[in-house]
Amino acid sequence: MMIPLVPSDHPNQHLRKLGAQYDPDLPISFAFGLVGLQRGWKAGSETWKRNWNACMNCEYDRHIGSRVTTLATWQQLCAKVGIKDSVKSINQCKKALARVHVNIVDVLDSWDSDTTPIRFKNKKALAVYTKSNQKFFRRDIAKQDKVLRPTFNMRTPVAPSVLSGVSPPVSPPRHPNKHLRELGVSYDPELPISGAFGLIARQRGWKQCSKTWKKSWNACMNAEYDRLIGYSVANLATWQELCAKVGIKDSFTSINQCKKALVRVHVNLVDLLDCWNSDNIPTRFKSKKALAIYTEANNKFFGRHIAKQDKVLRVLLRKLL
């Protein structure tokens, strides 16, 4: 009989100290999330923050910080965030990275995969995403590091001055999401739906995962799903677009073909809705376990009763119900 292999030590020094088993399919934030859940750390608590910072600092040093003076490291970083230009010096890399808005934790998560982290169109959208998902990186480390300084534009956006003699401001357009519109949220096309919800939740002081937060979150995500997908679920074109949005490039001529292809894909539905009106593709996980950990760690759930009734959601969320 074969002797079971002993789990390998985790390459992240902090997770190794915590006794975390190494699963190459789990990105670093998910591996940390699993340890946090096992130990009962509440997201955002002092214990959670201390261990999160230690974990992310170790992961950054492992991949980037330990070889920050080499051009190859900068070129690899550019490639990881989707910069396809040929850069031949560190200064060229810095200039290219200064124009890119990405979350560093997402970069670390995708480092050992073919996934490209979400690139945001502006600092505001990135800031909302970072705060909503608690994907922070220690500011004191970022200010001192050669890579992190250009990658993280840490200047606070300054509100435009109110000038006399200018035309009165135009009222912002109504939000296309029915629930956010009812809450009086102004529409910013640069903000993904989860970011827009996170903004209004903070403004109203809703504690994450409280009853009020959950009720409003479910209403918001259900409204967004219905707006983008649910209203036309009987159309082949909707299924074809859905396949394209999750990165399936094959050409399908029937809904059944689309369903069979989607069954093999592990994506988070909230991420899918966030990416719908952009060129980004949601993270595709290698296993149901990795997707489940990510979903729970980031509170990116979808209403269970809705999922059981809907044809698309039964396919996408079949293992999380």
* DSSP one-letter string for 247-285: T--S--SSHHHHHHHHHT----HHHHHHHTTSS--PPPP
Residue 71 sits in the same domain as residue 132: yes
Q: pTM for this structure? A: 0.56
> Are residues 92 and 18 part of one domain?
yes
pLDDT confidence tier of residue 190, bands split at 50, 70 and 90: confident
Structure confidence at residue 32 as a pLDDT band (50, 70, 90): very high
Handedness of CA 67, 147, 274, 43 (dihedral sign): positive
pLDDT per position as a tens digit, 273-295? 998 888 888 999 988 888 888 88
The range of the structural domain enclosing residue 253 comes to 178-316
Contact between 275 and 286 (Cβ < 8 Å): no
Q: Please tell me whether residues 219 and 279 are part of one structural domain.
A: yes
For residues 10 and 255, what is the distance between their CA atoms, to the nearest angstrom? 42
Are 196 and 296 within one domain? yes
Same domain for 128 and 85: yes
Q: What is the mean pLDDT of the chain?
A: 80
162 found inside a domain: no
| Residue 17 resides in a domain | yes
Residue 141 has pLDDT above 90, yes or no: no
Tally the C-alpha atoms within 13 A of residue 269's C-alpha that lie toward its C-beta.
Answer: 26
Say if residue 184 is in the same domain as residue 289: yes
The rounded percent of the chain whose pLDDT value lies above 70 is 80
CA distance 182 to 192: 18
pLDDT for position 312: 67
By mean pLDDT, which of 68-72, 246-250, 301-305 is the weakest? Answer: 301-305
Phi and psi torsions of 155, nearest 5°: -70, 140
- Give yes or no for residue 160 having a pLDDT over 50: no
Q: Are 98 and 169 in contact (CB under 8 A)?
A: no
Token pair recorded at residue 269: 């539905």
Q: How would residue 213 be classed by pLDDT, with cut points 50, 70 and 90?
A: very high
* CA distances from residue 232 to 161, 242, 314 in whole angstroms, order as listed: 44, 11, 15
Task: Tell whether 6 is covered by a domain.
Answer: no
**Sorting pLDDT into bands at 50, 70 and 90, what band is 304?**
low
295-311: average pLDDT: 73
Q: Alpha helices, DSSP H only, in the chain?
A: 13-17, 28-39, 46-63, 71-80, 90-97, 104-110, 123-132, 139-144, 148-151, 178-182, 193-204, 211-228, 236-245, 255-263, 269-275, 288-297, 304-309, 311-316
Residues 140 and 21 in one domain: yes
Burial of 216 (0-12, 13-18, 19+ CB in 10 A): buried
pLDDT score for 272: 92
Mean pLDDT on 103-123? 87
Residue 151 lies in a domain: no
What end-to-end distance do the CA atoms of the chain give, in Å?
A: 36
CA distance 259 to 249: 14
Residue 152: name the closest of 107, 188, 90 by CA: 107
Alpha-carbon Rg of the chain, whole angstroms?
21
Alpha-carbon distance of 307 to 233, in angstroms, equals: 13
**168-186 pLDDT per residue, tens:** 445 567 788 999 999 988 8
Based on the domain organization, do 120 and 200 belong to the same domain?
A: no
Domain presence at residue 149: no
At 192 the three-state DSSP class reads coil
318 is written with which tokens? 């079949």
Rounded to whole angstroms, how far apart are CA atoms 145 and 161? Answer: 33
Average pLDDT value for residue range 111-133: 84
Residues in Cβ contact with 252 at an 8 Å cutoff, skipping those fewer than 6 apart: 239, 240, 243, 258, 261
Q: What is the pLDDT of residue 163?
A: 31
Residue 170 confidence (pLDDT): 52
**Which two structure tokens, joined as six digits, stand for 81?**
């965030």
Q: 261 and 307 in one domain?
A: yes
3-state secondary structure at position 120: strand
The last residue of one of the domains, among 144, 163, 193, is: 144
Number of domains in the chain: 2
The answer as to whether 137 is a domain residue is: yes
Last residue of a domain, one of 144, 168, 196: 144
Q: What is the pLDDT of residue 273?
A: 92
pLDDT over 90 percentage in the chain:
14
8 A C-beta contact, residue 108 and residue 89: no
For 308-313, what is the mean pLDDT? 62
Any domain includes 150: no
Would you state the pLDDT for residue 211? Answer: 92
Predicted pLDDT at 52? 92
Please count the other Cβ atoms lying within 10 Å of the Cβ belonging to residue 291: 23
Residues 286 and 259: their CA atoms lie apart, in Å, by 18
* Residue 174, helix vs strand vs coil: strand
pLDDT of residue 165: 40
Do 189 and 139 reside in the same domain of the chain? Answer: no
Residue 155 covered by a domain: no
